[in-house]
């Protein structure tokens, strides 16, 4: 009996062990460690957000750091911040990455580069039909062509460097560079392009002991992201909300760890890890264990990906059905005298969706802030929404960033929150009976003029 059990165990373990052994032989490039202490790390987009966090962390680990960005005043602020926190001075270069000649001059002026981190990026969300070609070109020029300018300028000296230890070219992409998202057509195109650049470039520079890393952060709490959330389409917010947002320091740590280990694909959170497996394709893989996980989980993750697509396309269909049927307006502000101050398209068709509830409420709250409203009342027929807006720490973790933003705005608006029975949330008379006539009102329902 014992011999039978042992044989059965061997038969179970043999196939996965054989696969792991095979993958250990197959994976290319081979594993590598890239030291940064005492080496020159050149970071673009280094005056704020992820770039500044990377500069802080690299300097604290003993690297010689240079940062490049457009605005000289922001660069000086960043330099002072790094000096204050680490005691290390950094070189700064005020350059627009769209200007290839200016990029070349900055690279030539800087010390020889050991680790180049192409972190610059802009994102302006909007449906392609509504977005100007000038805006599309701007994103592609900064995100994609700017990266070409940097690598093209730095590559000759990196190949001829005296220090023959492993070097790195790291490229900051985005989870929108792994999967297309509504409203990110141009942005996703500029970020998807970086993957093709990285995969081909790795083959060209591997003989020079230069290792390419592609970093795929989720939404990150940076000045640019906070501005972007104010303008992106509501449907974009609903689809993208499931990923949640990270802090810049957290992304920087994940990115720097990935660079030092020479990983080609560097995810930054669980969603990114799953995306990296689901989209592995023909990308390089240094880790036999990760290759094993990619192989055995590919089918299950494909099913998960199809579920997400089902969910997203369902939201899109309901959105368009709502627009077509003109069932109502998602949010509206009305003065006490009855005149309408502001309204915006809503999501009555998916009002039961948690994400839709929160994003609809947040959109109205942002409008109130942008129009400098005070003393507003927010009446919702979702008790959970009111609870989550009122109580810090409550609500779904995936929407924590959006709830925190809503609470912060509400604290400055002298806002009052209240629940309204769904049967009353259908017309102006019902809302009035619920006590919703103060200076300004935000509701989930259509209010006739």
Name the domain boundary from 251, 283, 301. 301
Does 396 lie in the same domain as 277?
no
| Residue 214, domain extent | 40-301
Is residue 318 situated within a structural domain? Answer: no
Name the domain boundary from 256, 285, 301. 301
Structure confidence at residue 303 (pLDDT): 92
Per-block mean pLDDT, blocks of 10 residues, the chain (449 long): 67 78 87 94 95 96 95 94 93 96 96 95 91 95 97 96 92 94 94 96 96 94 71 76 78 96 94 92 90 89 90 81 47 39 33 58 70 61 70 72 78 66 47 39 34
Is residue 9 situated within a structural domain? Answer: no
Neighbours of 437 (CB within 10 A): 14
- Which of 10, 32, 447 has its CA nearest to residue 259? 32
Structure confidence at residue 47 (pLDDT): 92
Active-site residue list: 173, 187, 191
Does 211 lie in the same domain as 87?
yes
Structurally, the chain folds into a number of domains equal to 2
Q: What is the pTM of this model?
A: 0.75
Does 428 lie in the same domain as 386?
yes
Q: Over 81-140, what HEC string results?
A: HHHHHHCCCCEEEECCCCCHHHHHHHHHHCCCCCEEEECCCCCCCCCCCCCCHHHHHHHH
Structure confidence at residue 390 (pLDDT): 75
């Amino acid at each position: 009996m014992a011999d039978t059990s042992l044989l059965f165990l061997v038969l179970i373990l043999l196939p996965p062990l054989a696969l792991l052994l095979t993958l250990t032989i197959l994976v290319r490039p081979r594993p590598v460690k890239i030291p940064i202490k005492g080496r020159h790390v050149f970071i673009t987009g280094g005056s704020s957000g992820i770039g500044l966090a990377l500069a802080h962390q690299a300097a604290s680990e003993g690297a010689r750091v240079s940062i490049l960005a457009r605005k000289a005043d922001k660069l000086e602020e960043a330099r002072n911040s790094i000096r204050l926190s680490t005691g290390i001075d950094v070189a700064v270069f005020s350059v627009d990455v769209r200007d290839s000649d200016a990029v070349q001059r900055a690279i030539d002026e800087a010390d020889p580069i050991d680790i180049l981190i192409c972190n610059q990026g802009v994102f302006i969300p909007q449906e392609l039909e509504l977005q100007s070609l000038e805006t599309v070109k701007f994103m592609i020029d900064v995100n994609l062509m700017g990266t070409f300018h940097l690598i093209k300028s730095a590559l000759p000296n990196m190949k001829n460097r005296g220090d023959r230890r492993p070097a790195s070219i790291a490229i900051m992409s985005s989870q929108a560079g792994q999967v297309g998202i509504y409203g990110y057509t141009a942005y996703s195109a500029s970020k998807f392009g970086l993957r093709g650049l990285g995969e081909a470039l790795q083959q060209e520079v591997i003989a020079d002991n230069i290792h390419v890393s592609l970093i795929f952060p989720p939404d990150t709490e940076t000045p640019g992201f906070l501005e972007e959330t104010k303008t992106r389409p509501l449907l974009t917010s609903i689809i993208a909300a499931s990923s949640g947002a990270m802090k810049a320091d957290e992304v920087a740590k994940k990115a720097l760890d990935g660079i030092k280990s020479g990983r080609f694909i560097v995810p930054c959170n669980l969603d990114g890890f799953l995306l990296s497996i689901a989209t592995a394709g023909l990308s390089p893989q240094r880790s036999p264990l990760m290759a094993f996980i990619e192989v055995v989980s590919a089918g299950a993750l494909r099913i998960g990906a199809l579920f997400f697509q089902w969910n997203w396309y369902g939201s899109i269909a309901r959105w368009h059905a709502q627009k077509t049927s003109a069932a109502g307006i998602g949010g509206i502000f009305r003065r006490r005298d009855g005149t309408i101050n502001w309204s915006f398209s809503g999501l009555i068709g998916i009002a039961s969706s948690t994400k839709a509830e929160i994003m609809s409420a947040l959109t109205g709250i942002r409008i109130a802030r942008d129009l400098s409203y005070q003393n507003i009342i927010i009446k919702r027929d979702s008790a959970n929404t009111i609870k989550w807006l009122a109580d810090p720490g409550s609500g779904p973790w995936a929407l924590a960033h959006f709830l925190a933003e809503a609470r912060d705005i509400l604290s400055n608006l002298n806002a009052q929150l209240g629940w309204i029975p769904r049967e009353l949330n259908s017309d102006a008379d019902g809302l009035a009976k619920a006590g919703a006539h103060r200076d300004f009102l935000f509701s989930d329902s259509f209010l006739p003029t």
